[in-house]
């Protein structure tokens, strides 16, 4: 669990200065971590209406500019992390940090096994594991607001009438395939991010800030604003986060890392 | 708990809890003040323990009838899976126990139920269960919110006898119910219900698909239609035909029948009716008051009813939602087949049919040919292929080769291809052990008469007559209609 | 022997997670049934470490401006809650509940139990503010008040299963829980809600102190 302080230091040292350039231009930050080659996209600052506060205009949130992984972390990328941090092996991870299904799709401690999932998003990882992976790269998990803000961007080249909720609800409508598709297999949004919806759920840093259960959640599910389709799609996400704990691992739950712009 | 700073949020929660507590104390007060029923014996010591036998519709677990209060363990797994909604139509159902409706739970008044809700690891969604038989917040929903790959456990005392709906109550609740997450729990009154000959479990629910009723393939859920309460399908037991035809409920003349009927909704109330039967007894809304001599009883969404009747006459009885377009156009039709001897005193059958010509003769008229549009071969072929796979391929095989000595081949079949009626007669009437010769080989057996529409028969024949080396013209619906009317 | 230990570890993991499952979604009393089903008493210390929250690393600062890590809390039974000092409703009640627990402990146990308050509010609850709060509330040296950075606070909330949300204007919406940790730092009980459950806590503490 404990990171060698020097490696963190070197990491930070290696970080290229991020140029605040054109909004949609990708800011590459390729790091010398085995095969981990993570392209980060610069997400411009902006305003964002959190779903659960939709009824109250005053609670529009400001999101500062930040970097977000172009795609979810893959099994192959996560393997590099496990090799470099043996305390995160399947057989070594303390139960405080991950439940029994941690990396259960892999063949062994440092063996993905099925080659077909190498480029699929890594799933069955706990919040702690995702958090540790991002830390290892000098990054962090995106906040719930950051994630929602970035995920709300429209699909690139979408029909003028196309609506994000169609992608989301379409994903809900189909059972999880036996082999998860590879990253960058669904759609890219106008920010340049791949698969924000329609491939896997994704951990966010403060998923445990969702507190829907205080009475207006089960019986009056429509109470948080109008029952439009976008609300429904978002409701599923918030309900999913609500049901999680940080040690849980789920076969359709992955993550991507974020980073501050300094 | 929206947008609240800490104190407000807490106050809200507290208010909700207080309200819930207040509501519960009201209920208790009502029970006592009502005076018609003794206060439930909720403090009885639990003696013994067993794991509940759960059944899938249309079957009902046998009532155990024990004198003591027991702990009953109920294990239910939530599974998201693709199943048939109608012929050629599939849907991603979210299910309790792999079926729609979910398993029937039968316990006894006063029991302690320990419910284990498992969410299959391959599922995408968190799920939970709200049982209307629970006295407590969310009916168990709060205690059972479960992420895929986990199991939640909670226990409750069943204080109130009756028939209750359970359903998933994870946000958005409507969608979880619309996808099939409901079932029934029967809390048997102490001493049990009177013995009957047969018990069945039926549950109505509606489905909101993107495609119109009958549009083939895997159909996604349509939120707009759900909000407008305009379903494409209204069905019993989760699919068109799930309790009719070969799946019909079966009984004998003289049987006393009890139906446990639920309505999962999510939106529509059901005008529940069995055509040609009168319910001797109805426990309306699943409650304790018996009403008698009822023909149609209203079952609200999220509600249930127990109906009882005696089969006096043989025949096939249609079980419908008497909001009748739902029965004829959307699938809300089940069947009860009663075997035995007719009693002409109870029901004569048709005695005569004579001309009725008040005020002189009426000019006879050929019935107008109903609109039966001609469709191109490619379209009928495509639809026909799906229908063939659903209805025919298990015997005739997808290759059209049949099974030597048992099922005649369709591929290059002289028997089929040389028929002047294109084979329409076979699909309309079936084959009833008449010996036939196909490509020089003898066959004798039964091909059932399938309940297919004229349009569907045209599609199947177009497919069969243009596959596996067969070649002919398209078969149109009007040809089938004509043959049917002859 | 190794095998047995492994099985033991898995069992503990399962017990812990099933308890947590309830704890997440109930607003009342506590996560685990009152007796008999808490973590087995006979497990080896090394295995207990599997669920010890003292595995979390990172420096905290207490109300005396002393730097410490969570593992420095090892050795005593700990009663812990997450609060913020500007909170006007729920947090004072949580603190009151903890004081009631402290006051009801037998003299012989007092020095074997420590009380810990961790602030959500990294910005305003600096060590000086925590010291002011301790003095206002009359918290003696059995108490430790901790200031940390937001990332550490989030991590701690995860292992304690406390939910919170920064409501934006320096207030926090949060679940109300008092947790009891054994000497190795494993969460043994979570008392949820705002009703003092002093006797439940006392019984648990007594059991853990004498383990």
B168 and B60 share a domain? yes
CA distances from B3 to A62, A159, A214, C123 (A): 15, 34, 13, 21
Domain assignment present for B359: no
User: CA B307 to CA B163: how far, in whole Å?
Assistant: 11
Domain end position, chosen among B166, B190, B214? B190
Mean pLDDT lowest among B76-80, C33-37, C74-78: C33-37
Tell me whether residues B172 and A232 touch, CB distance under 8 A.
yes
Joined together, the tokens standing for residue B449 give: 């008469």
Mean pLDDT of B344-361: 70
C168 touches chain A (CB under 8 A): yes
Q: What is the total count of domains within chain B?
A: 3
Average pLDDT score over residue span B362-389: 72
Question: For residue B152, is it within any domain?
Answer: yes
Q: What is the CATH number of the domain that holds C112?
A: 3.40.30.10
DSSP string, B335-350: EEEEES---TTT----
Give the whole-angstrom CA distance, residue B163 versus residue A196.
44
Q: Which residues contact A13 (CB under 8 A, 6 or more apart)?
A: none
Is the Cβ of A102 closer than 8 Å to some Cβ of chain B? no
CA separation for the pair B381, B389 (Å, rounded) = 12
Query: In whole angstroms, how far apart are CA B315 and each of B162, B276, B335, B342?
Result: 31, 10, 10, 9
What CATH code is carried by the domain that includes residue B116? Answer: 2.60.40.420
- Taking an 8 Å cut-off on Cβ atoms, the answer to whether B172 and A219 are in contact is no
The residue among B232, B234, B310, B233 whose CA lies nearest residue B274 is B310
Distance from CA of A139 to the nearest CA of B (A): 27
Sign, Cα dihedral of A195, B170, A99, B120: negative
CATH number of the domain enclosing B425: 1.10.760.10
> In the predicted model, what is the mean pLDDT of chain A?
79
| CA atoms of B444 and B408, how far apart (whole Å) | 9
B209 and B137 within one domain? no
Residues B116 and B177 in one domain: yes
Would you state the pLDDT for residue C67? 96
Whether A163 shows a pLDDT value over 80: the answer reads no
Chain A neighbours (≥3 Cβ pairs under 8 A) are: B, C
Q: What is the DSSP string of B94-134?
A: EEETTBSS--BEEEETTPEEEEEEEE-TT--S-B--EETT-
Identify which of A142, A144, A172, A179 has the alpha carbon closest to the alpha carbon of residue A256.
A142
C155 in contact with A, Cβ within 8 Å: yes
Domain final residue pick, B138, B159, B190: B190
pLDDT class of B401 with cuts at 50, 70, 90: confident
Does the residue A126 lie in any domain?
A: yes
Give residue B112's pLDDT.
95
CA angle B295, B297, B302 (to 5 degrees): 160
**Whether B150 and C176 lie within 8 Å, measured CB to CB:** no
Chain C CB contacts of A218 under 8 Å are: none
Residues of B in contact with C173 (CB under 8 A): 1, 4-6, 9
Report whether pLDDT(B296) > 60: yes
Task: Tell me which of A127, A210, A221 to substitute to probe the interface with B (most B C-beta atoms closer than 10 Å).
Answer: A221
Q: Mean pLDDT over residues C123-150, rounded?
A: 95
User: Which of B425, B472, B421, B480 is CA-nearest to residue B447?
Assistant: B425
Q: Is the CB of C51 less than 8 angstroms away from the CB of A208?
A: no
Inside any domain, residue A261: no
* Number of inter-chain CB pairs under 8 A, B vs C: 56
Please enumerate in sequence order all residues whose Cβ is within 8 A of that of A5, keeping only pairs 6 or more positions apart, or say none: none
What pLDDT is recorded for position B188? 95
Specify whether B129 is located in the same domain as B237: no
Alpha-carbon distance C164 to nearest alpha carbon in chain B (angstroms): 9
> Is B170 within 8 Å of A170 when comparing Cβ atoms?
no
Among the three residues B190, B211, B236, which one is the final residue of a domain in this structure?
Answer: B190
Closest residue in C to B147 (Cα–Cα):
C21
Q: State the pLDDT confidence band at A21, using cuts at 50, 70 and 90.
A: very low
Q: Tell me, yes or no, if the pTM score tops 0.80.
A: no
What confidence tens digit (pLDDT) does each residue in A236-257 have? 888 899 889 999 999 999 999 9
C102, pLDDT greater than 60? yes
- Residue in A with minimal Cα distance to C186: A96
Phi and psi at residue A27, in whole multiples of 5°? -100, 110
Which three-class secondary structure string do you get for B22-58?
Answer: HHHHHHHHHHHHHCCCCCCCCCCCEEEEEECCCECCC
| pLDDT at residue C125 is higher than 50 | yes
Report if residue A140 sits inside a domain: yes
Task: Verify that B255 and B388 share a domain, yes or no.
Answer: no
Which one is predicted more confidently, B278 or A31?
B278
Q: How many CB atoms lie within 10 A of CB B54?
A: 18
For the ranges B243-247, B480-484, C151-155, the maximum mean pLDDT occurs at C151-155
Mutate to test the interface with B, among C89, C119, C193 (most CBs of B within 10 A): C89
Give the pair of three-digit tokens for residue A247: 């040690």
Over residues B412-443, the pLDDT tens digits come to 999 999 888 889 988 888 887 788 889 888 88
Least confidently predicted of A2-6, B450-454, C55-59, C193-197: A2-6
Contact predicate B13/A215, CB 8 Å: yes
Report CB contact under 8 Å: B143, C25: yes
H or E element that contains C206:
helix C198-209
B347 CB-near residues (< 8 Å, 6+ apart)? B312, B313
pLDDT of A56 higher than 70: no
Q: Across the beta sheet with B290-294, what order do the strands follow?
A: B233-236, B198-207, B256-265, B303-310, B279-283, B290-294
Residues spanned by the domain of C48: 2-209
- Same domain? For B317 and B400 the reply is no
Q: Domain containing B237: what range? A: 200-339
CB nearest A96 (choices: C25, C50, C154) = C50
- What pLDDT is attached to residue A52? 59
Q: What's B62's DSSP letter? A: P
Average per-residue pLDDT for chain B: 85
Task: Evaluate whether residue B425 is within a structural domain.
Answer: yes
What are the Cα distances from residue B120, in Å, to B56, B98, B105?
Answer: 18, 10, 20
Partner-chain residue, chosen from C17, C18, C87, that has the shortest CB–CB distance to B6: C87
Domain count, chain A: 1
Q: What is the average pLDDT across A185-198?
A: 93
Q: Say how many domains are in chain C.
A: 1
Q: What are the pLDDT digits (tens) for C56-96?
A: 998 999 999 999 999 999 999 999 999 999 988 788 888 99
pLDDT at B457 (0 to 100): 92
Instruction: For residue A152, give its domain range.
Output: 5-256
Predicted confidence (pLDDT) at residue B10 exceeds the cutoff of 80: no
The answer to whether A4 faces chain B, any CB pair under 8 Å, is no
**Could you tell me which residue, C126 or B456, shows the higher pLDDT?**
C126
CATH of the domain at A11: 3.90.1580
Tokens 């005696």 sit at which residue?
A: B310
Q: B68 lies in a domain?
A: yes
Whether B87 and B155 map to the same domain: the answer is yes
**Which of A154-158, C13-17, C84-88 tops mean pLDDT?**
C84-88
Residues of A whose CB is below 8 A from C165 = 206, 209-211
Please indicate, yes or no, whether residues B268 and B306 belong to a single structural domain of this protein. Answer: yes
Task: Provide the pLDDT confidence category of residue A122 given band limits of 50, 70 and 90.
Answer: very high
Q: Find all residues with CB under 8 Å of B402, minimum gap 6, and list them.
A: B395, B396, B408, B409, B410
3-state SS, residue C166: strand
């Amino acid at each position: 669990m404990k990171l060698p302080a020097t490696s963190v230091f070197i990491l930070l040292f290696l970080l290229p200065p991020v140029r605040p350039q054109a909004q949609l231009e990708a800011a590459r930050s390729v790091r010398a971590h085995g095969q981990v080659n993570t392209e980060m996209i610069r997400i411009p600052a902006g305003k964002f209406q959190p779903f659960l506060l939709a009824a109250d205009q005053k609670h529009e949130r400001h999101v500062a500019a930040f970097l977000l992984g172009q795609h979810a972390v893959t099994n192959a990328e996560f393997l590099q992390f496990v090799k470099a941090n043996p305390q995160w092996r399947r057989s070594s991870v303390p139960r405080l940090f991950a439940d029994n299904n941690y990396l259960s799709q892999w063949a062994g401690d440092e063996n993905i096994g099925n080659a077909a999932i190498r480029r699929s998003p890594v799933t069955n990882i706990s919040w702690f594991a995702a958090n540790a992976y991002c830390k290892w790269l000098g990054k962090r998990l995106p906040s719930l607001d950051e994630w929602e803000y970035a995920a709300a961007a429209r699909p690139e080249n979408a029909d003028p009438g196309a609506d994000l909720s169609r992608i989301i609800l379409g994903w809900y409508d189909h059972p999880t395939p036996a082999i998860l598709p590879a990253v960058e297999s669904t759609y890219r949004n106008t920010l340049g991010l791949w698969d924000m919806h329609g491939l896997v759920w994704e951990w966010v840093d403060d998923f445990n800030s969702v507190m829907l259960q205080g009475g207006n959640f089960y019986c009056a599910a429509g109470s948080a604003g109008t029952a439009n389709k976008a609300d429904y799609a978002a409701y599923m996400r918030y309900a999913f986060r609500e049901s999680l704990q940080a040690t849980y691992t789920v076969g359709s739950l992955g993550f991507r890392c974020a980073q501050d712009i300094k | 708990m929206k947008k609240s700073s800490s104190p407000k949020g807490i106050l809200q929660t507290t208010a909700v809890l207080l309200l819930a507590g207040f509501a519960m104390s009201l209920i208790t007060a009502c029970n006592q003040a009502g005076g018609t029923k003794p206060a439930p014996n909720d403090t009885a010591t639990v003696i013994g323990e067993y794991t509940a036998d759960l059944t899938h519709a249309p079957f009902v677990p046998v009532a155990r009838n024990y004198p003591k209060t027991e702990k009953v363990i109920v294990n239910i797994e939530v599974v998201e899976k693709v199943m048939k909604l109608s012929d050629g139509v599939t849907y991603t159902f979210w299910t309790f126990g792999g079926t729609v409706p979910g398993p029937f739970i039968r316990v006894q008044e006063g029991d302690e139920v320990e419910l284990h809700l498992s969410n299959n690891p391959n599922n995408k969604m968190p799920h939970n269960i709200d049982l209307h038989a629970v006295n407590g917040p969310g009916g168990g929903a709060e205690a059972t919110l479960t992420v895929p790959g986990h199991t939640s456990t909670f226990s409750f005392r069943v204080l109130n006898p009756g028939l209750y709906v359970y359903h998933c109550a994870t946000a958005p609740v409507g969608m979880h119910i619309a996808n099939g997450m409901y079932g029934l729990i029967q809390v048997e009154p102490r001493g049990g219900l009177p013995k009957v000959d047969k018990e069945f479990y039926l549950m109505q629910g509606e489905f909101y698909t993107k495609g119109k009723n009958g549009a083939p393939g895997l159909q996604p859920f349509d939120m707009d239609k759900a909000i407008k309460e305009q379903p494409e399908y209204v069905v019993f037991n989760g699919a068109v035909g799930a309790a009719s035809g070969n799946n019909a409920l079966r009984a004998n003349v003289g049987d006393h029948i009890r139906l446990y009927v639920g309505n999962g909704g999510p939106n529509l109330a059901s005008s529940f009716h069995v055509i040609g039967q009168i319910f001797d007894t109805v426990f309306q809304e699943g409650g304790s008051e018996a009403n008698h001599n009822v023909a149609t009883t209203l079952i609200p969404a999220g509600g249930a009813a127990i109906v009882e009747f005696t089969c006096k006459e043989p025949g096939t009885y249609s079980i419908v939602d008497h909001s009748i377009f739902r029965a004829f156009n959307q699938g809300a039709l089940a069947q009860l087949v009663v075997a035995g001897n007719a009693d002409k005193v109870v029901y004569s059958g048709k005695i005569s049919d004579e001309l009725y010509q008040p005020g002189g003769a009426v000019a006879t008229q050929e019935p107008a040919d109903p609109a039966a549009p001609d469709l191109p071969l490619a379209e009928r072929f495509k639809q026909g292929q799906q229908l063939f796979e659903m209805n025919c391929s298990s015997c005739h095989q997808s290759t059209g080769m049949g099974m030597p000595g048992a099922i005649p081949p369709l591929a290059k079949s002289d028997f089929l291809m040389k028929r002047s009626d294109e084979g329409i007669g076979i699909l309309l009437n079936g084959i009833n052990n008449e010996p036939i010769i196909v490509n020089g080989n003898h066959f004798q057996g039964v091909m059932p008469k399938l309940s297919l529409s004229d349009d569907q028969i045209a599609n199947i024949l177009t497919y069969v007559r243009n596959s596996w080396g067969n070649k002919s013209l398209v078969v149109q619906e009007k040809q089938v209609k004509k043959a049917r009317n002859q | 022997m190794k095998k047995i230990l492994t099985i033991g570890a898995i069992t503990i993991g399962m017990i812990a997670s099933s308890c947590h499952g309830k704890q997440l979604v109930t607003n009342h009393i506590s996560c685990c049934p009152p007796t008999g089903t808490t973590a087995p008493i006979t497990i080896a210390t090394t295995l207990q470490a599997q669920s010890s929250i003292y595995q979390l690393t990172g420096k905290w600062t207490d109300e005396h401006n002393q730097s410490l890590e969570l593992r420095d809390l090892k050795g005593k039974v700990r009663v812990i809650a997450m609060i913020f000092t500007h909170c006007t409703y729920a947090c004072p009640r949580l603190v009151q509940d903890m004081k009631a627990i402290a006051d009801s402990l037998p003299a012989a146990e007092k020095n074997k139990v420590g009380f810990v308050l961790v602030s959500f509010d990294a910005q305003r609850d600096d060590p000086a503010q925590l010291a002011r709060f301790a003095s206002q509330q009359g918290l003696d040296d059995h108490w430790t008040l901790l200031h940390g950075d937001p990332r550490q606070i989030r991590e701690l909330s995860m292992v304690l299963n406390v939910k919170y949300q920064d409501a934006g204007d320096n207030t926090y919406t949060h679940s109300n829980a008092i947790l009891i940790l054994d000497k190795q730092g494993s969460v043994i009980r979570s008392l949820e809600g705002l009703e003092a459950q002093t006797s439940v806590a006392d019984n648990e503490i007594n059991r853990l102190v004498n383990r």
